[in-house]
Amino acid sequence: MSSKRKSTSKDTTVYREFGNQTNSDALEKGVPNLPPQQQNIRIQVTRAGKKGKTVSVISGFQHNQESLTQLLKKLKTQCGTGGTIKDNTIEIQGDHKQKLLQILSQLGYKAKVSGG
């Protein structure tokens, strides 16, 4: 008979120099949470990669995830439509560039409409 041990853990790491990799707080990039007056925001309308649907894309934010989520909620309720956050950009369903420009200006952002 052989005495084989079964390992219950799938992690076969013997040595790790920089601690636990499951600590997502330490691995997360630090994003400065700048005030609205110091941010240059771009608003553009696109249909590329959206299966023909028109989407207003707002980019240039330097906020943490919580601030972006709160801003997204405000913009969605003001426009009366859906939206999401992807890679520090906010996507609002539909062509709302003028309304978004007005709302963001009222909130103190330096916003511009870019593209056609």
List for the chain the helix, strand, coil content (%; round to 5). Answer: 30, 20, 50
- What are the beta bridge partners of residue 89? 86
Mean pLDDT calculated for residue range 26-52: 79
Q: What is the pLDDT of residue 70?
A: 93
Give the closest residue to 115 by CA, choosing from 54, 35, 53. Answer: 54
Q: What is the mean pLDDT of residues 36-40?
A: 83
Least confident stretch, 5-9, 35-39, 92-96, 107-111: 5-9
Q: Is the pLDDT of residue 27 over 80?
A: no
Under the banding of pLDDT at 50, 70 and 90, the label for residue 2 is low
Alpha helices in 28-96 (DSSP H): 65-79
In the prediction, which pLDDT does 56 show?
94
Between CA 47 and CA 84 the distance in angstroms is 15
Asked if 99 contacts 79 with a C-beta cutoff of 8 angstroms, the reply is: yes
Structural domains for the chain: 32-113 (3.30.780.10)
Q: Could you report the per-residue pLDDT of 46-92, keeping only the tens digit for each? A: 988 778 899 999 999 888 888 899 999 999 999 999 999 998 899 99
